[in-house]
Amino acid sequence: MILAIDIGNTSIHLGAFQGGRLRRQMSLPTRLANIPGRLRRTMARLGIAEEAIICSVVPRVTPVVAQTLRQAGCGRVRMVGRHVKVPLTNKYTYPEQVGQDRLVGAYAAWKEFRRDCIVCDFGTAITIDIVKAPPKSRGGSHSALYLGGVIAPGLEISLEALANRTALLPKVELKEPPELLGRDTADSIRSGLLYGCVALCDGLTAQLKRQYAPKAVVVATGGASPLIAKHARTIDHLRPNLVLEGLFQLIHH
């Protein structure tokens, strides 16, 4: 079994791959006080992994997860960015600023579609990134190009901000409202956030395609992606587990 782990700001996502396919997946909160204990119980259910690969945007949690995996009997633990490099040409002005999860998602999209891609990741933050096909050259093949992207607050962050920064607006559960027009406060918030996010996705994606990648395929991923993809016109493919798939491909490409 190969274990792929995506450590995000809100959740730690784990995917167990066997026979080249994602067989099981689990999540646990990143802010959980007892990450080692919870992770050991999760590993007990999944079984012993021959190898694990970790992608993290929470540096303080990374060594805790890696040590717990080793203690649980995992044969080899590798970290993206330290032991494994994402094989894209990073065109960011400051390449070290790009989250490894963004690079892994871009790489996974490129590996699947082999053409220009725009990757919309709806997680704690919303990121919309462009990966372009490598330039043709007589010198042989080159890696695909990660051009960059845009970052906006995610749905959960927006929900928390409304509840914490306003006197009368409550914290509501994120779910699809019954219609566009909110008829009570909770549904008004849900409608504004959901359809506002859909409009953001469609608007930014259309502009990015027009200016940088007219023929790009648009791929949605992340926890809120099924909800957004249901309404967004610009999304071509839904891949909620794109980063986990990309992690697996990095060590078995």
Q: Which SS3 state, helix, strand or coil, does residue 157 take?
A: helix
What is the per-residue burial (b if ≥16 Cβ within 10 Å, else e) of 116-130? bbbbbbbbbbbbbbb
User: For this structure, is 236 an active site residue?
Assistant: no
Per-domain residue ranges of the chain: 2-79, 89-251
Q: Which SS3 state, helix, strand or coil, does residue 153 take?
A: strand
Q: Give the pLDDT confidence score for residue 78 in this predicted structure.
A: 95
The answer to whether residues 153 and 165 touch, using CB atoms and an 8 Å cutoff, is no
Q: Scanning the structure block, which residue is given the tokens 């906006």?
A: 152
Q: Give the pLDDT confidence score for residue 138 in this predicted structure.
A: 47
* Length of the chain in terms of residues written: 253
pLDDT tens digit sequence for 178-204: 999 999 999 999 999 999 999 999 999
User: What is the residue-averaged pLDDT of the chain?
Assistant: 92
Higher-pLDDT residue of 12, 46: 12
Closest to 133 (Cα-Cα) out of 217, 205, 238: 217
User: With 90 as the cut, is the pLDDT of residue 2 above it?
Assistant: yes
> Which position among 101, 116, 129, 187 bears the catalytic label?
101
As a whole number, mean pLDDT of residues 44-57 equals 88
Q: Give the pLDDT confidence score for residue 137 in this predicted structure.
A: 52
Q: Give the pLDDT confidence score for residue 141 in this predicted structure.
A: 56
**If you write DSSP's letter for every residue of 33-95 in order, what string do you get?**
TTHHHHHHHHHHHH---SEEEEEES-TTTHHHHHHHHHHTT-SEEEEBTTTB---SEE--SSG
Alpha-carbon gap, residue 180 to 203, rounded angstroms: 18
Instruction: State the pTM of this model.
Output: 0.92
CATH topology identical between 2-79 and 89-251: yes
Question: What superfamily would CATH give domain 2-79?
Answer: ATPase, nucleotide binding domain (3.30.420.40)
Q: Give the pLDDT confidence score for residue 91 in this predicted structure.
A: 96
User: With 80 as the cut, is the pLDDT of residue 122 above it?
Assistant: yes
CA atoms within 13 A on the CB side of 33: 0
As a whole number, mean pLDDT of residues 10-37 equals 89
The arrangement of secondary structure in 89-251, i.e. its CATH architecture, is: 2-Layer Sandwich (3.30)
